[in-house]
Structure 1
Amino acid sequence: MSEQSLLRLSIVVTAALAAFGIIVGLWSGSFAIVFDGFYSLTDAFMTLLALLVSKLIVTSAQPTAKGKLIDRFSVGFWHLEPMVLGLNGTLLMGAAIYAFISAVESLMSGGRPIDFGPAVIFTVVTVTVSLVMWLFCRRANRKLNSNFVALDTQAWLMTAALTSALLVAFGLGHAIEGTQYAWATPYIDPGALAIICLIIAPVPLAHVRQAVADILLVTPVELKNHVDAVAEAIVERHGFLSYRAYVARVGRGKQIELFFIAPSEWPARHLSEWDAIRDEIGDAIGDEGPDRWLTIVFTSDPEWAD
């Protein structure tokens, strides 16, 4: 299954669960279930946005790609990927923080009575679907290696964990109804929501941090070391004076610019000879494909490289 097909499936399933959750939450009076549905709805919207960006990236990478949009973004759409990932993680963290504040407010005002019967049914269905989607997306992404699918897979695991905690809380609430501990039932819904929000709020932080690093063009250390090793070997093998390497990762795209400083007294060479060196460098760097932007320049003037 392709990245886009997997994201489409995730959108449909997420939207269905979100609608189911909001309806059951309003019916049972559970704000925790309403939040679960809203959280899923937000995730579905961001997955739709990720699908659009993924389609743009794949389309623009085709050699035959044409159109006004392609002409306006001639260097590709990689820069949109970290923007979407960062926005997705920020919205999910913001939703969790808002829900936590609301839960604390509800606890301080005496809690919220709910109908535990529909709530338990909802949590059982949601946990089952979420775990199935998590396993399916995780397995599919072993071949795709997509950041979008990875974030979506993590979201399914978060949904399963969140709803599992709600299932335990609602099951406990249903068990103590009519007993001497019935006074605690109004506090179960906001209490469970507050605990869950504290757990899930920091989860998207790693994706947000990586997205910000990509947006700011922070040089990946591992990639830079690899490019430096290749460039140093080329300098030694072909007799260049030095080199300059500029490396960045933007979403799935790797942008590499290499400048090799040649002695000014070197005799002229055929273009095919320079191209052969470029092929040698490209093969040594690896990962050739539509997501690698590699520029190799040979010059005798260091100012062109600095």
Structure 2
Amino acid sequence: MKWPRLFGTSDESSVLRLSIATTLLIAIFGVVFGLVSGSFSIVFDGVYSLIDASMSALALAVVRLITSYAVNVDLPRKWRERFTMGFWHLEPMVLGLNSTLLVGVAVYALINGITNLLSGGHELHFGPAFGYAALTVSACLAMAVVESRANRRIRSDFLRLDIKSWIMSAGITAALLIAFSAGYAIQGTAWEHLTPYVDPAALVVVCVVIIPIPLAEIRQALLDVLLVAPPDLKRHVDAIAARFVERYGFEYYRAYVAKVGRSREIELYFVVSPDMPPKRIAEWDAIRDEIGRAIGGDESHRWLTIMFTSDPQWAE
């Protein structure tokens, strides 16, 4: 009875759990078949999947923290007192760490592949290697499709990265499948002396292709950690703020925005004239509500501060 809740596509956590379980199976499968077939590229594929599974488990823990804080449930009081501004900042850290580890593993495997090529390669049992590659490609593509369909509704950065990982894994294993097929085909021909080079050559090509892919995630994670203002969010907030300055006769505004994982951090300061007629607190709150609705976005993952002052120093 608990199976659908543990492994499903209804929410971010259940999809990540399904991904972790599948990745672990593929990782174990890869390491075992890599050792049996004598393929370093398959062992690399298994280790790559193992690291991906561990990072997905960490991502799942962060998702639970972020969700618990956002909906105000299942979070110890002590944690709320110590993390008063939420856990959104953990998301880019985990995404950056995940991508960095994947790049590091790929670079290490690339060096090993080149070393193996220069030393004359090694013998490979193509039967088990071919079977592994075919099954793994099918599993990776199936998971990529399942997660893509789920993320159309969920819209999670973690799932987006996980989908990329599944596509990368499918691409890696598909390249190995092609290489193993070619190696098997040249056995018993005049090109048979090249078969020891098939596995390390495939490993080198795969690593060269996949190393640049996580770099975009590392860049985005750094932008989030450094609180670099997203241009589209800044333009949107500026347009809203300018409209309210004109509507209510404020002098000017200052907007400060950042994207931290799935959250949007927005601070708006409206400078009003000291001679402006006074308003009741309820009236200022009504203006704040109006501005918040105009800005829009997911309120559970939005940190919005709106301040009205006649002292420009408060806005700078």
Give the TM-score taking structure 1 as reference length.
Answer: 0.98
The reply to whether residue 19 of structure 1 matches residue 28 of structure 2 is: yes
Alignment match, 1:51: 60
Secondary structure at 1:294 match in 2: strand
* AA at the equivalent of 1:235: V
Tell me which of 165, 169, 185 is aligned to 1:175: 185
* AA at the equivalent of 2:20: I
Tell me which of 51, 56, 68 is aligned to 1:42: 51
Alignment match, 2:272: 262
Query: Cα distance, 1:182 vs. partner?
Result: 1.2
Matches of 2:239 and 2:55, distance apart in 1? 39
* AA at the equivalent of 1:21: G
Tell me which of 136, 139, 147 is aligned to 1:129: 139
Q: Identity percentage over the alignment?
A: 54
* 1:119-268 equivalence runs, <5 A: 119-268=129-278
Matches of 1:171 and 1:217, distance apart in 2? 48
Query: Cα distance, 1:288 vs. partner?
Result: 3.9
Query: Cα distance, 1:155 vs. partner?
Result: 0.4
Give the alignment's Cα RMSD to 1 decimal: 0.9
Moved more, 60-69 or 286-295: 60-69
Deviation string, structure 1 residues 50-104 (Cα, Å, up to 9, x no partner): 0000110000112355421121101000000000000111111111111111000
Tell me which of 95, 105, 110 is aligned to 1:95: 105
Deviation string, structure 1 residues 18-60 (Cα, Å, up to 9, x no partner): 0000000011110000000000001000010100001100001
* AA at the equivalent of 1:41: L
Secondary structure at 2:307 match in 1: strand
Query: Cα distance, 1:268 vs. partner?
Result: 2.1
The reply to whether residue 9 of structure 1 matches residue 21 of structure 2 is: no
Alignment match, 1:106: 116
Secondary structure at 1:298 match in 2: strand
What residue ranges of structure 1 are gaps of 5+ in the alignment? none
Matches of 1:187 and 1:63, distance apart in 2? 57
Alignment match, 2:285: 275
What residue ranges of structure 2 are gaps of 5+ in the alignment? 1-9
Secondary structure at 2:205 match in 1: helix
Secondary structure at 1:246 match in 2: strand
Secondary structure at 1:247 match in 2: strand
Matches of 2:178 and 2:255, distance apart in 1? 55
Contact 1:282 1:288 in 2 (8 A): no
Query: How many residue pairs are counted as aligned between the two chains?
Result: 306
Deviation string, structure 1 residues 270-293 (Cα, Å, up to 9, x no partner): 111001100110111011421010
Matches of 2:225 and 2:129, distance apart in 1? 41
Q: 1:200 to 1:288 in 2, by over 3 A?
A: closer
* AA at the equivalent of 2:279: R
Matches of 1:68 and 1:275, distance apart in 2? 30
Matches of 1:63 and 1:203, distance apart in 2? 36
Secondary structure at 1:290 match in 2: helix
Matches of 1:287 and 1:118, distance apart in 2? 51
Give the TM-score taking structure 2 as reference length.
Answer: 0.95
Q: 1:288 to 1:192 in 2, by over 3 A?
A: closer
Secondary structure at 2:21 match in 1: helix
* AA at the equivalent of 1:15: L
